Copies of this chain bind each other. A is one copy, B any other.
Amino acid sequence: MPVRVVLNQDEIPRQWYNIAADLPSPMQPPLGPDGNPISPDMLAPVFPMNLIEQEVSQERWIDIPEEVLEILYRWRPSPLLRATRLEKALGTPARIYYKNESVSPPGSHKPNTAVPQAWYNKQFGIEKLTTETGAGQWGSALSFAGALVGLEVKVYMVRISFDQKPFRKIMMETWGGTCIPSPSPNTQAGRAALEKDPDTPGSLGIAISEAIEEAVTDPSGKTRYSLGSVLNHVLLHQTIIGLEAKKQLEKIGENKVDVVIGCAGGGSNFAGLAFPFVLDKINGAEIDIIPVEPTSCPTMTRAPFAYDHGDTAKMTPLLPMHTLGHDFIPPPIHAGGLRYHGIAPLISQTIVEGLISPEAIPQLECYEAAVTFARTEGFVVAPETSHAVASAIREAKKAKEEGKEKVIIFNMSGHGLMDLVGYDKYFAGELVNHVLPEDEIQRALNAIEGLPKPEINKSGKW
């Protein structure tokens, strides 16, 4: 019985899949401060033009550069595993598969986009990338990519995480990256925040503002900004996960998948696994495709599809997405990567089209699932990933009740070895579930009142 399914280096997918080409109705364009669609040119101070082209591309398949593949080979194709031991523990007739993205050097799926982003920037003549990081996963991945591609990387890390997670900073420095706490005195945005409150714990919103400011104000013009999720080109780069998974399932004769699962904060690891299966669904296959979020930050399950800023400081264009409002601050749960007020526009659109079925799971069920997984399959997953595990277990139990031999696949987006504090608190009984009261959500949504509303089916040509 196959437990482990691998692909040889020469079986790696050589193109990314761009779902924008196949969505039944066109994507709504991002809007500028004046409420009008922004042109690709307007993003040029922030991103290099070759990535902007990917951001707006309608091509179904986009070639992966050979030099990018040469780096990805260090951990890709990643293994597909069958959770035979978890299946047995659950007594389910379902066959559960998981794609192990924890084998990358930084330990998550993030380098799948960090490497091409660094490479395209380098090709475009850029010498330095700036970014922000919350829990540290993305800052580590971009530092790693910068080292291998040959780019300077500067990471603004939210001060409270910077203080609480010193190991993430050391990881970044080992790869030659620079990591500084945000707010910092380096930027206008940072200085303003510090003036307001010298002891501020910082926020992702401020860190994004600082990173963008440093990129766009570099007089040499050789600095750009890089984002680890949400945007179209980021999700595009992650589709290598699902494309590999399909080849692997085919290799062992699993020709029909019933359920596809990934956790979703900004949405990139979910989209990476799921979008190639969404294509099958668009073409008529019956598949349940489930992005999983925490009940404490129910963007997809309880928030409207609206135009909103990607950041708290309102520096980014307005993006069409499910959003709790840019002012929303989720309760402190341990899955830091899932604490985002919005979700990728491409995912929002697939929700609106009825192609995927979001689910929200409370924190304790996720940790319980993660511990079951660790003690059956052996892997200690990241707190974010635990949401996918919990959903897979729900689906496997459902299959048992229904007596159906379903095929379930989920994305094991990262290991939890850098985030063990959450497990410790779970064992100590210190964690709680957060389910947001409706009036709190309504209050948060005030932030988007007065902003333009997206219209589905309206032409979305940039």
Residues of A within 8 A of B (CB): 2-9, 70-71, 73-74, 76, 81, 84-85, 103, 105, 107, 144, 147-148, 166-167, 170-171, 173-176, 371, 374-380, 415, 417-418, 420-421, 423-424, 427
Contacts and interface: CB of A to CB of B under 8 A. Distances in A.
Nearest to A71: B378
Pick the 9 closest A-B CB pairs, nearest first.
A3-B73, A170-B420, A105-B378, A147-B375, A4-B73, A4-B9, A6-B6, A170-B424, A167-B420
Contacts of A380: 105, 171, 174-175
16 contacts: A2-B9, A4-B9, A4-B73, A71-B85, A74-B377, A74-B378, A105-B378, A105-B379, A105-B415, A148-B378, A171-B380, A174-B374, A174-B427, A175-B374, A175-B378, A417-B417
A171 B427 CA distance: 12
- Kindly report how many copies of this chain are found in the complex they form together: 2
B4 A74 contact: yes
Contacts of A85: 71, 148
A273 to B, nearest CB: 19
A383 to B, nearest CB: 12
B375 A423 contact: no
A419 to B, nearest CB: 10
A3 to B, nearest CB: 4
A50 B144 CA distance: 45
Nearest to A422: B170
Contact of A81 (B74, B167, B379): B74
Contacts of A170: 420-421, 423-424
A361 B73 CA distance: 30
Contacts of A421: 170
A379 B174 contact: no
B174 A423 contact: yes
